[in-house]
Structure 1
C-alpha cells in the first residue's frame, strides 16, 4: 500500500493538473483535494476551469465549490479548510492528492504561516525620515547578527529587519533562523511535483482554454453572479468578462486581455514552483500522452 502522506501536484494554469491528479488518484487509491484559490467558489466552474461533474464523479474530489462568490478567502482560511479534509482522507486509508496552482495557499498548507510579523505601514512611516546610516545603526543595536548579514545599502531590507525586531520584540535573526529550521524539517517530509510544459505549448493551451471558456458560458456565469467578494474579483477573466457583458470590451478585446493576463500569471506560477526545491519537475511534452508513469517514478510510488 502506498504511503498515505499527501502528494502535491502543482503547475501553471492550463498545464493539465486536474487530469493528472485524477489519474494518480485512480492509480494510488487517492482522493483529489483542491488547492486553487478560485475553484473553491461555487457557480463559477467555467470561469475557473474547475473539473467537470463527470471528472469529479470519477474519483472523490474535495474543496471544489465550497464558497459562495461573495465570501472572502485567504491562505490562512484555506489552510483551515484543507487540513481537516486531508486528515479525514488519511483516516480512511486513502491518499490525498492535493492539486492546484495557488502557490501561497500551498505554502501555508504545507509549512504553516511564517512567524514573522506582517508589514506595518504606520510603523514604516516613522522610519522613512531616517538615512541609510541611521537605519543601519539602529539595526546593529537591535540585532547585530541580522545587521551582519543584511545589505546595509538596501533601504527596504533594513526597514523590514528593524520592523520585525520592533514589532515582535525578538531579534529578527532568531525568528528567521528558527523558521528556516522548521521549514527544512517540514520540507524533508514532503513529496510533490510540478508540471512543466514548453512555453509555446503552454501558451497554446491557455489561448484555447480562454476561447472555450468564453464559448462555454463564462459570460453568463459572471452575469448571473449575485455578488463578488474582493477575493473573487481577482480571478482572471472576471473583470474582463464584466466589461464584455457591459459593452465596454469587444469579444476580441476580452479574449486577448484574458489570454495575456493568464500567460503572465502562468509565468509567475512557474517562478514560484521552481523556487520550491522539494517539488520535482515533471516534463509534459507537446502532444504527448499523460506522463503518469513518469510521475509515479518521480514520486517513488505505484
Structure 2
C-alpha cells in the first residue's frame, strides 16, 4: 500500500524502508533532515540498538540556554546514550562550521562510532566534502559588517560581493551573505576562491552511512505547529525570559527560531498568540529552505521517509 500524495515510482526511487538499509555497527552514521522531522529520535533509537555517540550537527543546539526552544535532547534522553556537542556554549559565543569540525575531530580520532545528526546542512557538507581554511575574521571587521547591515540592509552587502561568490552562496540567508562579506573584507579574496582550495574531508561520504530524512510539506507543517505548542508548554518562554536582560538582536543565540518572537511578547510588543503564529510561520519557512538545500546537495544520500520513523 502506498501513501497518498506521493506517486509509487517516485517514492520507491527516493526512499528505502529503514529496516532494509545496511547499518553496520562499525560505520559512522549521518542523519540530516529538516526541523521536526524526527532525526533525534532516530539517532537515539540507533544508538540504543547498536551503540554509538550521538553528535550534534545543529548550529543552535550548541547553546546551553535553549534546551526546550531548540528541541535539544532532554536530560532523560541524554542519559540513555552518549551525546556530544550539545548545549555547551554561552549565548554570546560565536560558533562557526570550522570550529564545529575542530570540536568533532577528536571524537572521530577516539575510535567511537559516531551518529551525527542535525539540520545544519553546511556542517554535513564541510564534514564530508572538506572546508576551506579561511583565516579568522577580526572583531572590528565583524562589527563593521553588522553596522553596515543594520544601516543599509543585507542587500547592500550582497551587492559588494565578488560575482563568483554571489552566484554560489544562498542569497536568501542573511548569515551567509554577512559571512561572505566579512571574508572578502578581511582577506581581500572572495569566499568562492577560498572554497576552491578546500582540503580533504574529515569523513568522506563513502566511509559513512548517510541518511537523508525527507518529510512532506503538509505533514511537516502540522508537526512544526504541534512541536511549538509543546515547547511553550515545556518552558520555552522561561528560557527566553532568562535571556531577556542580555537580549540584543545580534546575540549569536538570538538566531534561534521563535526566540525573537517570544522576546517581543515578553516586552509587551505582541500577544502570545501573535508570537506563536509568527514563530510557527518562521519555522515553516526555515524547514522549506532546509528541504530545498537537502534535495539539491544530498541527492546521493539514502532517503528515509519521516512518516516511517
Q: TM-score of the superposition, structure 1-length normalised?
A: 0.70
Write the deviation string for residues 216-261 of structure 1: whole angstroms up to 9, x where unpaired. Answer: 2111111112635632111101110100111111111111111111
Query: Does residue 107 of structure 2 align to residue 100 of structure 1?
Result: no
Query: Does residue 128 of structure 2 align to residue 110 of structure 1?
Result: yes
Distance 2:234 2:44 in 1: 23
**Equivalent residue number for residue 150 of structure 2:** none
**Equivalent residue number for residue 139 of structure 1:** none
The 1:156–1:193 alpha-carbon spacing in structure 2 relative to 1, beyond 3 Å, is same
The 1:159–1:111 alpha-carbon spacing in structure 2 relative to 1, beyond 3 Å, is closer
SS in 2 for 1:191: strand
How far did residue 175 of structure 1 move? 7.8
Distance 2:237 2:87 in 1: 18
Q: In the alignment, which of 272, 279, 293 is matched to residue 293 of structure 2?
A: 272
Write the deviation string for residues 159-183 of structure 1: whole angstroms up to 9, x where unpaired. Answer: 889x9xx9569xx6x984x75x957
Distance 2:246 2:103 in 1: 22
How far did residue 87 of structure 1 move? 2.5
Kindly indicate whether the alpha-carbon contact (under 8 Å) linking 2:127 and 2:204 is maintained by their aligned counterparts in 1.
no
Measured on the aligned residues, the alpha-carbon RMSD in Å equals 3.4
Q: In the alignment, which of 49, 63, 67 is matched to residue 27 of structure 1?
A: 49
- Mapping of residues 191-206 of structure 1, within 5 Å: 191-206=209-224
Query: Does residue 56 of structure 2 align to residue 63 of structure 1?
Result: no
SS in 2 for 1:14: coil
**Equivalent residue number for residue 73 of structure 1:** 95
The 1:14–1:74 alpha-carbon spacing in structure 2 relative to 1, beyond 3 Å, is same
The 1:114–1:253 alpha-carbon spacing in structure 2 relative to 1, beyond 3 Å, is same
Write the deviation string for residues 13-70 of structure 1: whole angstroms up to 9, x where unpaired. Answer: 0000111000111222112011111111113201111111111111111111111112
- What is the number of residues matched between the two proteins? 243
Kindly indicate whether the alpha-carbon contact (under 8 Å) linking 2:119 and 2:290 is maintained by their aligned counterparts in 1.
yes
Q: In the alignment, which of 42, 48, 52 is matched to residue 64 of structure 2?
A: 42
**Equivalent residue number for residue 246 of structure 2:** 227
Distance 1:175 1:12 in 2: 25
Kindly indicate whether the alpha-carbon contact (under 8 Å) linking 1:117 and 1:168 is maintained by their aligned counterparts in 2.
no
**Equivalent residue number for residue 127 of structure 1:** none
Distance 1:159 1:100 in 2: 26
SS in 2 for 1:97: strand
- Structure 2 unaligned blocks of 5 or more: 1-22, 142-161, 169-183
Larger-gyration structure (1/2): 1
